Structure 1
Amino acid sequence: MILTDKEILNRLKKQEITIKPLPTQEQIQPTSIDLRLSNDYLSPIRTEQAIDLKNEEQKYQQLTASALILPAGEFVLASTKEWIEVPKNLTARVEGRSSIGRLGIAIHVTAGFIDAGFKGNITLEIKNLSNNSLILHEGMRICQIVFEELTGEPTRVYGEAGNKYQGQKGTTPSLIYYDEDNVPNGA
């Protein structure tokens, strides 16, 4: 069951869901809360050689900007201004806003799911699919979070299962090379 604005606000008031800072009236949608863009970015550094996901970490250039020009076809990691805490009886999804998507901006390339128990800023995988450079501005409503009630409580919540992104602050790069099952062939 997807929570309505009334239910989200009620759970925020009871401190069952945490969104800091609290959303403004403009951010509250019928079944979601709009989240805002921070000024913290990670831009993947291009390399001529393929990056071996089992052995190498992607290198990034860290950027801080109140306005960032994202060229056509380019990709950048960014973060929400909001700190989110999802209780153990809910899950959440981050979705792009329609107004942003209609400009050709994909907000999460593939990782929009947020497990029960997650705490942290949400890292966004932003891709400019348009033919034009677009300027991203700190504080703009960039995406929305949707909360869904679970049919029961999970055995382990996020953070109890060796999860790498619990408590992340700001934009966080891929940590795939920490996966225990991600070892080189023959090792």
Structure 2
Amino acid sequence: MILTDREIQSALNSGQISIDPRPEVDAYSSTSVDLTLLDNFTVWRSNPGITIRPGKRGHSYSHLATLQESRITDQYELRSMSFVLAWTKEIVTIPNSSRLAARVEGKSSIARIGISVHITAPTVHSGFTGPIQLEMFNFGPHDVVLDAGMRICQLIFEQTLGTPDKGYQGAFLNQAPRTAS
């Protein structure tokens, strides 16, 4: 069951979930809340000859950090057919006991100019805390300037059928943007 704007605000008021900083009243739609873009963008360095094997035993995402460069800027120009990792300004917390999970989805106003905010990873598991990392790609024919603070995605909360025995314990728990490199 998807939560309505009233249910999301009630969950925030009761401490069932947390979004910090708390969204403005006009950030809510009937069944979602908009999140905004942080001023931290991570791009892949060009490293010819490097092959990434995520299925290999012992593979760790943290090893890939050496192939990335973080940039802190108020504006980032996402070129056509290009990829960037970005973050929401808001830190989202969904305790295991909340009986909730969430999905991050794009906004139609952003999608209509060719921007996708996630490739295949929309799920925000029960037990997660941190800013949401966005895997952004510009499928459009034009370069697009992304401004820090702009509304970039929406969070849709869903009720779970019980509480999990094992909350989210993955590699991205308590994730945080890297500092500029």
Q: Same fold (TM over 0.5)?
A: yes
Letter in 1 for 2:85: L
The secondary structure found in structure 2 opposite 1:12 is helix
Q: Any idea what the Cα deviations from partners look like across 1:75-114, whole Å, max 9, x if unmatched?
A: 0000000000013211100000010000100000111111
- The CA RMSD over aligned residues, in Å, is 1.5
Gaps of 5+ in 2: none
In 2: Cα distance, 1:171 partner to 1:148 partner:
29
Shift of 1:164: 1.2
Shift of 1:171: 5.7
In 2: Cα distance, 1:91 partner to 1:21 partner:
19
Q: Percent identity?
A: 37
Q: Runs in 1 of length 4+ with deviation above 3 angstroms?
A: none
Change (3 A) 1:19 1:171: farther
In 1: Cα distance, 2:122 partner to 2:178 partner:
15
Within-5 A mapping of 1:7-26: 7-26=7-26
- Does the 8 A contact of 2:19 with 2:91 survive in 1? yes
- Does the 8 A contact of 2:106 with 2:152 survive in 1? yes
Partner of 2:34: 34
In 2: Cα distance, 1:103 partner to 1:26 partner:
22
Gaps of 5+ in 1: 173-187
Change (3 A) 1:45 1:109: same
Letter in 1 for 2:15: Q
Partner of 2:86: 78
Number of aligned residue pairs: 169
Within-5 A mapping of 1:53-72: 53=53, 54=56, 57=64, 59-72=67-80
After TM superposition, the score normalised by the length of structure 1 is 0.86
Find out whether 1:49 has 2:49 as its counterpart: yes
Partner of 1:108: 118
Find out whether 1:143 has 2:153 as its counterpart: yes
